[in-house]
Structure 1
Amino acid sequence: MSNINLIIEERAVNIGKFMVGRLLPFRQKRMVGPFIYIDHMGPVQMNERENVDVFAHPHIGLSTLTFLFEGSMMHRDTIGTEVEIKPGAVNWMTAGKGIVHSERTPEYLRHSSKSMHGLQIWVALPKELEQMEPEFFHIEKEQIPAWEEDGLQYKLIAGEACGRKSPVPVYSKLYLIEIKADTTQTVKLGSELYGESGLYILEGSIESEDNVFAPKQLLIAKDSKLCEFTIRAGSSIYIFGGETFPEERFIDWNFVSSDKALIEEAKQKWIAQKFDKIKGEENDFVPYPAPKR
């Protein structure tokens, strides 16, 4: 019996001057554990006139995780954070009751050729923490647990698994694991995982139960305890998941909550521009999207 419950193909989505590959949410699978939203950004090459400029926009009820493979971005937010993220580091922003942030190409790169490639992830907060005070943490590449085992390179980007714990301060039981293979190997992670589990193939391929799966595919497992597959040489994959929440989560634009009233309140607050402003970016913001006709 196959352990793959669902195969999700990466879908191209325009998020304003920038195309991404959307993985979650999906109509047949809204969440995997606490993971509610995953975008694959790039890879994109930009010339000296092209830059990433994601203007100020709000969030509630979630944490965002940014992980780059290539490029650099400057994060600014309304709690005073201003930090550049580079490949291998993690930006972890918890919106809680509300935060506004922007993401842009750093000033020193704006007039040169550059690349951008990475993952943008949203993790829903437990119900009792949806209205917590907003926070931001930057974790350097060197702080992320990394190890080699049976010819494979592992990184525990966030959460707990494999007897290790990432310093990313998550608020629920979850894991985000990077696995890279120089040679073809068998991966047996079943006893290390828990809750729901998904596997995203960034590069290369994996083989499971005589089926070969290719890049830009997200595989949802029926049972994380049965996680065994062959990873081909030159492949990079990401396994993520964790314990599910008992309550449903709703999404409206950038807002996530178990309570629709909180989402409506945040929506009206943003339309009225009553969220805090990012210093120096008071006039640059993303408006609430107009209804589709």
Structure 2
Amino acid sequence: MSNVKLIIEERAVSIGSFMVGRLLPFRQKRMVGPFIYIDHMGPVKLSERDNFDVLPHPHIGLSTLTFLFEGSIMHRDSLGNSVEIMPGAVNWMTAGKGIVHSERTPEYLRNSELFMHGLQIWVALPKDLEEMDPEFFHIEESQIPKWDQGDVEFKLVAGEAFGKQSPVPVFSKLFMIEIKSKTKQTLNIGDQLYGDSGLYILEGAIESGGNVYDSNQLLVAKETTLCEFTIHENSSIYLFGGEPFPEERFIDWNFVSSSKARIEEAKQNWKTQSFPKIKGDSDDYIPYPSPRF
């Protein structure tokens, strides 16, 4: 019997001049553990006339996790951080009571062809930390725990699992695990996971319950502790999940909160430009979107 409760296909969504494949939120599954938003960026080739430019925009009530497979993004934020994100590194920004950031092609690459490919993820904060002071951490690829099990390569991008802990400073019990295999292998890792879990197939395929699932699908498990599947050769997958929160989370544009009133307050603050500014990148910004009719 299959342990797959729900299959979520990537849905094309525009984030300005850039198209992404959206996985979460989904109408039948708003969150997987504390993970509330997952976008698959690319793979896309940007010409020397194109750049990845996400103008300054705000967040509250969440942490962002940026994880690139290809390309480069210059992160700037209202705390004064300016960091280039390279493939394999983890950019972890906690908005708390409010932060503003921008994401752009670095200056030295703006007249070059560039491939962009990666994941943009939001992790909701526990209720008692939703209004914490904002923080920022950048973790290099060399700091991320990785190990092999035969032909299978594991990487603990964030959280805790397999008796290991990632240095990414998360605020709730969660896991994000990269698994790559060059050969076809059957894995039974349910005893290493907890809470809710989702399996995203980036490349290749997996088998579960007699069914084959292909790339660009997020599979949500019925029961995390029954996580057993066969990964096909030359496949890359990502496991996400963790302990769910007892309270509902609301999401509006870039704002996440357990309080609708708090989201409304954040919306008004952005409209009046009361959020902190990004030094050297505050001339333009993304306005709050107009309502659709």
TM-score range, shorter chain: over 0.9
Shift in Å at residue 281 of structure 1? 1.6
Normalising by the residue count of structure 2, what TM-score does the alignment of the two structures yield?
A: 0.99
SS of equivalent to 1:111:
coil
2:197 aligns with 197
> Does the 8 Å CA contact 2:78/2:279 hold for their aligned counterparts?
yes
- Residue aligning to 1:217: 217
Q: Residue 213 of structure 1 aligns to a residue in which SS?
A: strand
Partner of 1:75: 75
The residue matched to 2:27 in structure 1 has which SS? Answer: coil
Q: Deviations over 1:48-96 (max 9, x none)?
A: 1110000000000000000000000000000000000100000000000
> What is the alpha-carbon distance in structure 2 between the residues aligned to residue 282 and residue 173 of structure 1?
35
Equivalent AA in structure 2 for residue 147 of structure 1: W
Separation of aligned partners in 1, 2:240 and 2:91: 17
Distance 2:115 2:285 in 1: 24
Shift of 1:167: 0.1
Partner of 1:137: 137
Alignment of 1:112-191 (within 5 A): 112-191=112-191
Residues 263-282 of structure 1 correspond to what in structure 2 (within 5 A)? 263-282=263-282
Query: In 2, distance between residues paired with 1:81 and 1:148?
Result: 34
1:221, distance to aligned residue in structure 2 (A): 0.1
Aligned to 1:66: 66
> How far apart in 2 are the matches of 1:75 and 1:189?
35
Counterpart residue type for residue 114 of structure 1: L
Q: Which residue of 1 aligns with 2:111?
A: 111
Q: What does residue 25 of structure 1 align with?
A: 25
Backbone CA RMSD of aligned residues:
0.5
Distance in 2 of aligned mates of 1:2 and 1:232? 17
Alpha-carbon shift at residue 150 of structure 1 (Å): 2.6
Runs of 4+ aligned structure 1 residues displaced above 6 Å come to none
> Is 2:3 the partner of 1:12?
no
Give me the whole-angstrom Cα distance separating, in 1, the residues matched to 2:171 and 2:189: 23
SS in 2 for 1:121: strand
Task: Identify the residue that residue 86 of structure 2 maps to in structure 1.
Answer: 86
Query: Which secondary structure state, in structure 1, belongs to the residue aligned with residue 118 of structure 2?
Result: strand
Aligned length: 293
How big is each residue's C-alpha offset from its partner over 1:190-234, in whole Å with a ceiling of 9 and x where there is no partner? 000000000000000001111000000000001110000000000
Mapped partners of 2:84, 2:187: distance in 1: 34
Structure 1 segment 44-63 matched on structure 2, within 5 A: 44-63=44-63
The superposition leaves residues 216-271 of structure 1 with CA deviations (integer Å, 9 ceiling, x where unpaired) of 00000011100000000000000010000000000010000001111000000000
Deviation (angstroms), 1:18: 0.3
Match of 1:36 in 2: 36
2:172 maps to a residue whose letter is S
The answer as to whether partners of 2:151 and 2:181 remain within 8 angstroms in 1 is yes
How far is the alpha carbon of 1:2 from its aligned partner?
A: 2.1
Per-residue CA distance 1:150-179 (angstroms, 9 max, x = gap)? 320000000000110000000000000000
Shift of 1:280: 1.4
Find the residue that maps to 2:142 and give its secondary structure: helix
Contact 2:2 2:210 in 1 (8 A): no
What is the letter of the counterpart of residue 30 of structure 2? Answer: R
Task: List alignment gaps of at least 5 residues for structure 2.
Answer: none
Amino acid of the structure 2 residue aligned with 1:121: I
TM normalised by structure 1 equals 0.99
